[in-house]
Structure 1
Amino acid sequence: MKIGCSKLVLFFCFALIHLLIPTASQRPLIRCYNTGNYTSNSTYRENLDSLLTTMFNNSKIDYGFYNLSAGESPDKVYLIALCRGDNSPSECRSCINGSRYELLKACPYQKEAIIWGETCSLRYSYRSIFNIMEASTVTYRINGANFSDVEAFNSVLRPLLDSLRNRATSGNSTHKFALQSAPAPNFKTIYSLAECTPDLSELDCNSCLQRVQSIIPQCCDGRQGAKFVTPSCDLRYELYPFYDSSAEPPPLSPPPPPLVPSESPPPDLPITTPGMALTCLRT
C-alpha cells in the first residue's frame, strides 16, 4: 500500500513539473550584446525604464509595433517591440510586459539586448535601430524529427514559404506579417508564419526573409518544424497549429501538375549568405 501511494505521489509530482516547466518551443530566445554596459543608477537605466513603462501603458498603439526613444546622447535609448500579427492588443501588452522583466533579468547591465518570446519580441539599444535591416546573425531552434519523405515535404514547404515572404513584404508601416497552412504528404498539415518589423522597406523585409529561408537546406532539411529569428524578421513552420487558424487567409491553390513528368532532381536551394553567423538551439 505504501508503495502504491508513493508511486501515485510521484506520478502527480512529475505531472506538476510538466505543467510548470514550459516546453522548448515556448522558452524565449535571448541575446545580450557585448557592446557596452550601464550601471543600475545611471541615466541610461532611467531612460530605459521610462521607455519600458511608457510602452506598456500606451493604449493608443493597438497594432503591435512600438519604436520609441528617450534621452540624449550618450544616454539615449532606442526601443523596438513587435507582437505577432494575430495577437490582440491585450495579448500583445501581456507578452511584452513579461518579456521586459525576463530581458532585464537575463541582461541586467548590457546597453543592447533582445528577447524573442512565443508571440512577441523586445529589443533596446544605445544606437539607432529604426529602419535598419539586421539579419547577419540568425538564431534558430529545430523542432521534431525528420519527415519521412523529405522531397515531398520540401515540395510543399518551399512554395509555402515563398508565398508567405511575398505577402509579408507587401505589408504596410504597421504590419508586415503573414501566416498560412498547406496540406502536406501523409495527411499532415504545415503551419507557417513570416514577419518583419514594419519599419523596414519592402526590399529590406524581402532580403531579411530570404536570408533566413536560405539556411533551411543546411540546418534543417526535412525537419518537421523550425523557428528562425533575427532582429529584423522571423520565420517559423510546424506540423501543428501554433497560431489561431481563424486568422488565416483562404487556402492556397495547389500547383497544377506538370504536363510531362520530369525525372530531373529538384533545383538547388540558395545557400547561406557568406559571413552569416548562425546560432542553433536544439530541442
Structure 2
Amino acid sequence: MKRTRNMGFPPKLALVFIGFFGWCVIATSVPDTNVTTVLCNSGVYSKGDPFGTSLAYVLAEIEAVTPTSKNYDYFNISPYPNAVAYGHAACNQNLTSSDCSSCLGTAKTAMFASCQSRIGARSVLHDCTIRYEQYPFSD
C-alpha cells in the first residue's frame, strides 16, 4: 500500500497569515460616555449678559477644533474683551475624531443639564472632558 503525504496548508504558514491579518485589522474604540463628574461654579450670569455670547463662542470653537487638534487637546479664549470666557476640551487619544466629537457633545449636554447659567463648569466623562470658566485656568 502506497502512502501519500497530505499536501494541506503548512501550520507555520497558517500562523504567519493569521498573525499578519490580525496585525492589519485596525482597532477602533467606541467612546465611553459615562459621566464621571460634573462640577459647577457657584456664580451665575443672567440672560443678555455678554458672558453668554463669549461662552457660546468658546464652546462652539472647542467642540469643533478639539477633534482635529493634536492629541485631541485644545484650549481657547473668547475674542470679546468685555466678558471673556476660557475653555478647554480633551479626548482620549484612542478615539476617532468622530467619536471625540460625539463624546464632547455628550459632555456638554451633561454639563448644561446640571450647570445652567453658571460662570464656570466642568464635565468629565471616561473618554473626554470639557470645561469653561470666567478666568484663565490650566487642567
TM-score above 0.5, yes or no: yes
Question: In the TM superposition, what are the counterparts of 1:106-145 in structure 2 within 5 Å?
Answer: 131-145=29-43
8 Å CA contact 2:34, 2:126 repeated in 1: no
Higher relative strand content: 1
Instruction: Give the match for residue 180 of structure 1.
Output: 76
Instruction: Give the match for residue 9 of structure 1.
Output: none
Aligned residue pairs total 112
Deviation at 1:189, TM superposition (A): 1.6
SS at match of 2:94: coil
Separation of aligned partners in 2, 1:242 and 1:169: 21
Q: Which residue among 231, 234, 259 is the counterpart of 2:126?
A: 231
Q: Structure 2 vs 1, CA of residues 146 and 139 (structure 1 numbering), >3 Å: closer, same or farther?
A: same
Structure 2 residue identity aligned to 1:178: Y
Q: Which residue among 68, 86, 106 is the counterpart of 1:170?
A: 68
Instruction: Give the match for residue 18 of structure 1.
Output: none
8 Å CA contact 1:138, 1:212 repeated in 2: no
Q: Which runs of 4+ in 1 moved over 3 A?
A: 148-152
SS at match of 2:38: strand
SS at match of 2:102: helix
Separation of aligned partners in 1, 2:135 and 2:49: 20
Separation of aligned partners in 1, 2:88 and 2:134: 12
Instruction: Give the match for residue 110 of structure 2.
Output: 215
For structure 1, the 5+ residue unaligned runs are 1-129, 245-283
8 Å CA contact 1:150, 1:221 repeated in 2: no
Structure 2 residue identity aligned to 1:143: N
Deviation at 1:149, TM superposition (A): 4.2
Deviation at 1:217, TM superposition (A): 3.6
Percentage of identical aligned residues: 27
- Cα deviation digits, residues 72-94 of structure 1 (max 9, x gap): xxxxxxxxxxxxxxxxxxxxxxx
8 Å CA contact 2:44, 2:119 repeated in 1: yes
Q: Which residue among 192, 195, 198 is the counterpart of 2:90?
A: 195
Separation of aligned partners in 2, 1:215 and 1:231: 13
For structure 2, the 5+ residue unaligned runs are 1-27
Q: Which has the higher contact order (CA 8 A, sep 6+)?
A: 2
Higher relative helix content: 2
Aligned-residue RMSD, C-alpha: 2.4
Q: So what's the TM-score if we normalise by structure 2?
A: 0.69
Deviation at 1:150, TM superposition (A): 5.5
Separation of aligned partners in 2, 1:150 and 1:136: 33
8 Å CA contact 1:150, 1:222 repeated in 2: no
Q: Structure 2 vs 1, CA of residues 182 and 233 (structure 1 numbering), >3 Å: closer, same or farther?
A: same
* Pair member with larger Rg: 2
8 Å CA contact 1:153, 1:222 repeated in 2: no
Separation of aligned partners in 2, 1:209 and 1:150: 26
